[in-house]
Structure 1
């Protein structure tokens, strides 16, 4: 027995030792991909030496004698820190994900190939200005220089993920950078999904007023300076699919975060003139919001160009400071929500399905075939078709099949689908601009996705300009571009795009402050109409209040506004919903649902609407409103209610104020009794409290919003695997919510409806009174390597609302550097 025990001990010891050895070996091999920031490399293609000085946060400050050499250095820095991210972005744009990941990504590849994204990017290179092309070529040369060094110096394949997936890595090309702009446009595009949802809802509801309740237009004439619908059934002769028969259309894989109608993109930007600034220098704050990932989509960098230094946020793959400042100018962006997509129902010729109907009769589809390679499966061949309106997209994408009549197909017109996409040119011109006028002129090159470009200059001027192509639609458009329309009706078709001067512009306001939270900015008729659907109706009211609360602002007051977690929606809706429940009835017995409800209402009665991670009230409120909306709509629209998981504040306000008879939603359709809004509110609160108690225990006061509202930064590939998720995913309890300036949007779907999955991955505040006191931060870290200490080192700062300095002083960067990479020209 003793002998057996000794052998068991030995075997276990050997197994443990082998496991430890394997782990250490894997760690050592993987860590080879962590770049040495304090190294010197000899590389081809440079005119003179380049220095990449990384400060304590690993932000590269890049110095060279020419702009081309500086862009070369940025290419090296991006590839050093974010190679895997860049390769995946390019592979997505090429429609080649399935070559690595198999069938799970086949739907993405199918869509991208049908949109022909990479070919359009390749063709667009030919129309770029020589100066832009030179920048892209220099950047690509820098990326390729690092790829060569990885191979020649055995630098861990450049990223640890490349030990698990071994694709052949093609050289980076200028077209790859242009393709990244297409992919960013696709991430925030949403109007096509909105059209489908509105059409499906119109099929489910008999009363058009109820459609206006659930998908309301943003009220008012629009804010920038701070101080009857068509029946969808009637458009087609053939029968339409019923929403109940097709069920709920799944969110497309390119939109993994189900955020309802406000999930396409959300951001804040605001600026003040010196007259409204305490230190007499212009101010600008910007925090663009996208889906959270690990690493963040954003990467901080400083470039010393021949026109001066620029610093701010880049996206790896593009040599552009998308949001930041130079010595003379600061700029920020928000999604403009301009309606730049239309869906067209195209009728097939019943005698020849290779033809479709046009205003001039039947026409042949333009067609070709493409093969998609699929790992572990047979290749898939797709037939692509185009109409005069745009590419044909199968019904399996975005739920198009739910509103496409038999004998028809759906085509998509989108301003981004052009072989003359010069959007990247705007960013390069902005970095060299010295005046507001030069910056506004640079915006003319921008195509998609439409953005609000906010500007502030060192001479004290501010401006906001909508940049991006705006479709020219006819007044007689049958659906006003709010639902798919017959593609053969001439008045439904685009008449090209409007000229740049027609885009909304706001320049040097009398109030001294401009701001945007994706809110409605203008209300214009066709053909200059901008949009019916906007990304915010709530945050703008809070921003307006904070901006008007002070005669003058400082950098710190702008930071305070950027980090504000008070929900204007909660302050507005809660008194309406709870007005007949608060302070009513006798005290219920302990342990009963009535007593639990009274305790919850007592907490909410004292709450100021702050979505603070340490409080229980935000969790009770969010759960209540979610259950309330579902109770109001599910009996009317059935499974289509799954498409409305995110709370719509205007809908709830319309119901509880009975605007246009909207209180009709409160009566449960199948029941014989007539339920009131108070009845439904009480039942919804009991539902919410029961669900919360089952998850967080019976002590309401111990519940915490942060426990449910964790920021979820997931690695797009390894984050879904049990083996690596603990290493690559980042979780943080956070404040904020769907309708706070410090926004943390929630999915609304079970099992974790209140996760923070869409937030400000970058924050920057720029002060021209003291430019070196400007600050910025990103949500994770500079490195995309999970083994690097810079993978998540900025994440805690971001969570707490802290920043790092944004200085263009080269001596400050050198004084605290963690390494200087020197690139020497190859002779």
Structure 2
């Protein structure tokens, strides 16, 4: 049941009259802080995983259901044929089957963790069948197996590997054969040792740039096991069992995206003389074939033939009678990487973390890890992590569709973990990676770039964001303060402004020299750009002018390569600058439009102005970044990606770790939640890093509500979760001054159960729910009538003449 932390507030005090069940052995406590971050406390990691599943289901039930249906290949069964291709991919790449085969051989502690999470999912939906999506019946969904939960962790790998395949395949794919995937190449991470900071602490930044919704949507949680094996606070993708980055008491780690050659498109020549055979170097070889029956809602089932080859992968489509398109993905033969995920969150030192990474189960991700000992000895470590394969022609990795009949194009042996680029404790005392080539991670890295296999990286990339981090670290020297590093984390500098300003000055001078007819207006507009400091703040008008100007300037003119701009192009730049100002005047009524008016996040119908660069224009990127997935007719962007969750972590020997975060969406996915759907969006818009409450005294001091659940194991022998036998009643937040959330649980009912609000004299004031209450867990909201006076009120859960539970509420307007 739920208990409340007592803290003073002038608006309302909630006093619980009913007896409270305290956390006990075999129970899991979920403490929600005032940002709705769950702090999950159990005796063991297994119990923590159980609570993690319950908390995740509370906030994102549909995500959990849909990911499970996805790995089963059953999305079309419930949602229709629009998701038939998703089912095909899950079946073709055998996500569930490989997890089932691998599960018995997993180490016992990893199986325990999976069993805990699986039991939590089964418990939650057995107790809350109304939380299932409308299209899915809980009887058709439950029970979920441990292998299915493990397989969901492989969905992200399938997603980004197939996305790389479809980029290679290009026009050979129809839209129905493509998936929506996370865009590549935009994330930031860095680490600094105490030698570079004013307070002699170590810092690590986690800053993935990904879509805010879909498979990469973020969620924050904190896992604490009393046996000491877990005390991890981190960022999870919604519905995943392991975090993508975060920290415990002694170490922290982060990921950014890279692009190894782990996926290829092969055009395969079919053997015209032998069915289900293909040609390789002129020789006929047999496909592995099987049939899958995929159910479709309100339609006949679809029987699909799946053809696979260890040489060229899985058949995606028949191109003609002679050729077929195949997807070769590294995940094809690999089970989900759950052992590595578990070892990473339980690692206490960089050495232990390195051993976890050496399992080499994750298919990509540049990784930075940092540990701090009690006497402030610090280690920082980087690995350009990838699962890629050598081939006879390494450059084939970065070509389009490959000829699958030529063995020179095929994959060879796996590049071993020991052959990946790594750096440990560099002399420069920093590491940084902003999706750059591995040799830009620090000064004088400890590996020879000529030895890095070509299959691991694409090009000698050192982008604007990485260069900017180096610049800021050089400016900060050896005494960078906490405040300075927060500015580095939120840096919104558009570096192309610095390179183009001298070009504008020259263009204006040339305009005066040759009597350009619009020189006065062009000079005034150019001066606005020249005077701008280059920071894309949401309230500034210069970034709007700069962005619009860049959009209207011929793409052949490169702002980041000013030495290549000739006089004719400089005149074109002045003309497009005037065009940009006219566009703003015509569409917005002024040429001075705040950047946040067009660079915005729309959530629940509310516009939230954003600072930072934009991925929509290559020469206007910054560490603080947005990606617009929609733009209206006037050019206003609806930002749907960018800084998915910034986490800046501070560690120092002898002190508790501290962290600050910023996240675009609230923890809840319920648009009707008045407290936690957009609360973090407002902070994100304001560029406000909020502190996390890692230590127990901190998060209990900021508790909004706590709840305890008995651990209920669900195994093959016992598939029915044991639900509470007694009614439960809770209300939050504490305090509130406008609306209160009420959550109740009824194990059974006579059909007469009701929720009522009484005044202090025992008179009925309001019935919370118009119908009789159903069994199970349910959440309701009560907003007091405006005419209702401040004072003491009683919330009662009744069943006829019986009073199950009651709580005393003091309402103050």
Q: After TM superposition, is the score higher than 0.5?
A: yes
Partner Cα separation in structure 1 for residue 92 and residue 215 of structure 2: 29
Q: Counterpart in 2 of 1:331? A: 253
Contact 2:582 2:591 in 1 (8 A): no
Change (3 A) 1:602 1:133: same
Change (3 A) 1:184 1:683: farther
- Give the C-alpha shift of residue 173 in structure 1: 2.6
Contact 2:31 2:700 in 1 (8 A): yes
Partner Cα separation in structure 1 for residue 291 and residue 587 of structure 2: 51
Question: What is the DSSP-based 3-state SS (H/G/I as helix, E as strand, rest coil) of the residue aligned with 2:457?
Answer: coil
Q: Counterpart in 1 of 2:202? A: 282
Partner Cα separation in structure 2 for residue 393 and residue 266 of structure 1: 31
Change (3 A) 1:293 1:554: same
Kindly indicate whether residue 471 of structure 2 is the aligned counterpart of residue 545 of structure 1: yes
Kindly indicate whether residue 645 of structure 2 is the aligned counterpart of residue 762 of structure 1: yes
Q: Counterpart in 2 of 1:773? A: 658
Contact 1:296 1:778 in 2 (8 A): no
1:184 to 147, 153, 156: 156
Partner Cα separation in structure 2 for residue 384 and residue 149 of structure 1: 38
Partner Cα separation in structure 2 for residue 444 and residue 270 of structure 1: 21
Partner Cα separation in structure 1 for residue 541 and residue 706 of structure 2: 48
Partner Cα separation in structure 2 for residue 392 and residue 371 of structure 1: 17
Q: Counterpart in 2 of 1:518? A: 435
Contact 2:629 2:640 in 1 (8 A): yes
- Give the C-alpha shift of residue 466 in structure 1: 3.0
Offset from partner CA, 1:573-606 (integer Å, 9 cap, x none):
5655x4663344359999x987765543332222
Kindly indicate whether residue 15 of structure 2 is the aligned counterpart of residue 129 of structure 1: no
- Give the C-alpha shift of residue 516 in structure 1: 0.8
Give the gaps of 5 or more residues in structure 1: 1-35, 152-156, 198-242, 258-262, 396-400, 633-648, 667-674, 714-726
- Give the C-alpha shift of residue 57 in structure 1: 1.4
CA RMSD of aligned residues (A): 3.7
| 102-111 vs 506-515, greater mean Cα deviation | 102-111
Q: Counterpart in 2 of 1:812? A: 698
Q: Counterpart in 2 of 1:695? A: 587
After TM superposition, the structure 1 = structure 2 runs for residues 243-642 of structure 1, keeping only pairs within 5 Å, are: 254-255=179-180, 263-293=183-213, 297-305=217-225, 306=227, 307-352=229-274, 354-359=276-281, 361-394=283-316, 407-422=322-337, 424-459=338-373, 460-466=377-383, 468-477=385-394, 479-522=396-439, 523-524=449-450, 527=453, 529-532=455-458, 537-550=463-476, 551-572=478-499, 575=502, 578=504, 581-585=507-511, 597-628=522-553, 632=556
Change (3 A) 1:186 1:818: same
Question: What is the DSSP-based 3-state SS (H/G/I as helix, E as strand, rest coil) of the residue aligned with 1:585?
Answer: helix
2:131 to 135, 146, 158: 158
| 276-285 vs 754-763, greater mean Cα deviation | 754-763
Kindly indicate whether residue 607 of structure 2 is the aligned counterpart of residue 734 of structure 1: no
Question: What is the DSSP-based 3-state SS (H/G/I as helix, E as strand, rest coil) of the residue aligned with 1:553?
Answer: coil
Partner Cα separation in structure 2 for residue 406 and residue 539 of structure 1: 48
- Give the C-alpha shift of residue 617 in structure 1: 2.4
Q: Counterpart in 1 of 2:627? A: 745
After TM superposition, the structure 1 = structure 2 runs for residues 656-675 of structure 1, keeping only pairs within 5 Å, are: 657-658=563-564
Partner Cα separation in structure 2 for residue 174 and residue 267 of structure 1: 32
Change (3 A) 1:370 1:731: farther
Question: What is the DSSP-based 3-state SS (H/G/I as helix, E as strand, rest coil) of the residue aligned with 2:331?
Answer: coil
- Give the C-alpha shift of residue 353 in structure 1: 5.7
Contact 1:303 1:311 in 2 (8 A): yes
Q: Counterpart in 1 of 2:764? A: none
Kindly indicate whether residue 202 of structure 2 is the aligned counterpart of residue 195 of structure 1: no
Contact 2:314 2:328 in 1 (8 A): no
Question: What is the DSSP-based 3-state SS (H/G/I as helix, E as strand, rest coil) of the residue aligned with 1:420?
Answer: coil
Contact 1:95 1:108 in 2 (8 A): yes
Q: Counterpart in 2 of 1:219? A: none
Q: Counterpart in 2 of 1:221? A: none
Q: Counterpart in 1 of 2:791? A: none
- Give the C-alpha shift of residue 354 in structure 1: 2.7
- Give the C-alpha shift of residue 286 in structure 1: 0.8
- Give the C-alpha shift of residue 114 in structure 1: 3.7
Partner Cα separation in structure 1 for residue 177 and residue 218 of structure 2: 23
Change (3 A) 1:704 1:461: same
Change (3 A) 1:394 1:414: closer
Offset from partner CA, 1:275-324 (integer Å, 9 cap, x none):
11222221111111210128982221111122252212223433323311
1:96 to 55, 74, 86: 74
Change (3 A) 1:548 1:743: same
Offset from partner CA, 1:790-827 (integer Å, 9 cap, x none):
12221211222223333432122222211111113579
Question: What is the DSSP-based 3-state SS (H/G/I as helix, E as strand, rest coil) of the residue aligned with 1:539?
Answer: helix
After TM superposition, the structure 1 = structure 2 runs for residues 4-23 of structure 1, keeping only pairs within 5 Å, are: none
Question: What is the DSSP-based 3-state SS (H/G/I as helix, E as strand, rest coil) of the residue aligned with 1:445?
Answer: coil
Partner Cα separation in structure 1 for residue 692 and residue 240 of structure 2: 21
Contact 2:281 2:407 in 1 (8 A): yes
Offset from partner CA, 1:501-544 (integer Å, 9 cap, x none):
11111110111111111111134457464211588611001111
Partner Cα separation in structure 2 for residue 786 and residue 78 of structure 1: 16
Question: What is the DSSP-based 3-state SS (H/G/I as helix, E as strand, rest coil) of the residue aligned with 2:511?
Answer: coil
- Give the C-alpha shift of residue 352 in structure 1: 4.3
Question: What is the DSSP-based 3-state SS (H/G/I as helix, E as strand, rest coil) of the residue aligned with 1:73?
Answer: helix
Contact 1:465 1:505 in 2 (8 A): yes
Partner Cα separation in structure 2 for residue 731 and residue 446 of structure 1: 43
Question: What is the DSSP-based 3-state SS (H/G/I as helix, E as strand, rest coil) of the residue aligned with 1:299?
Answer: strand
Question: What is the DSSP-based 3-state SS (H/G/I as helix, E as strand, rest coil) of the residue aligned with 1:434?
Answer: coil
- Give the C-alpha shift of residue 393 in structure 1: 4.7
Partner Cα separation in structure 2 for residue 147 and residue 584 of structure 1: 71
Higher relative contact order (CA 8 A, sep 6+): 1
Question: What is the DSSP-based 3-state SS (H/G/I as helix, E as strand, rest coil) of the residue aligned with 1:419?
Answer: coil
Q: Counterpart in 1 of 2:769? A: none
Contact 1:324 1:330 in 2 (8 A): yes
Q: TM-score, normalised by structure 1?
A: 0.73
Offset from partner CA, 1:599-623 (integer Å, 9 cap, x none):
4333222223222222232223223
Change (3 A) 1:599 1:193: farther
Question: What is the DSSP-based 3-state SS (H/G/I as helix, E as strand, rest coil) of the residue aligned with 1:176?
Answer: helix
Q: Counterpart in 2 of 1:9? A: none
- Give the C-alpha shift of residue 116 in structure 1: 3.7
Partner Cα separation in structure 2 for residue 295 and residue 796 of structure 1: 23
Change (3 A) 1:694 1:774: same
Contact 1:389 1:412 in 2 (8 A): no
Change (3 A) 1:502 1:753: farther
- Give the C-alpha shift of residue 775 in structure 1: 1.9
Q: Counterpart in 2 of 1:3? A: none
Partner Cα separation in structure 1 for residue 192 and residue 649 of structure 2: 11
Partner Cα separation in structure 2 for residue 696 and residue 250 of structure 1: 36
Kindly indicate whether residue 60 of structure 2 is the aligned counterpart of residue 82 of structure 1: yes
Q: TM-score, normalised by structure 2?
A: 0.74
Greater share of strand: 2
- Give the C-alpha shift of residue 50 in structure 1: 1.8
Partner Cα separation in structure 2 for residue 131 and residue 467 of structure 1: 28
Partner Cα separation in structure 1 for residue 149 and residue 563 of structure 2: 50
Contact 1:268 1:518 in 2 (8 A): yes
Change (3 A) 1:89 1:357: same
Kindly indicate whether residue 783 of structure 2 is the aligned counterpart of residue 783 of structure 1: no
Q: Counterpart in 1 of 2:767? A: none
2:42 to 24, 46, 64: 64
Contact 1:452 1:464 in 2 (8 A): no
Offset from partner CA, 1:257-284 (integer Å, 9 cap, x none):
7xxxxx3252211111111122222111
Partner Cα separation in structure 1 for residue 248 and residue 509 of structure 2: 56
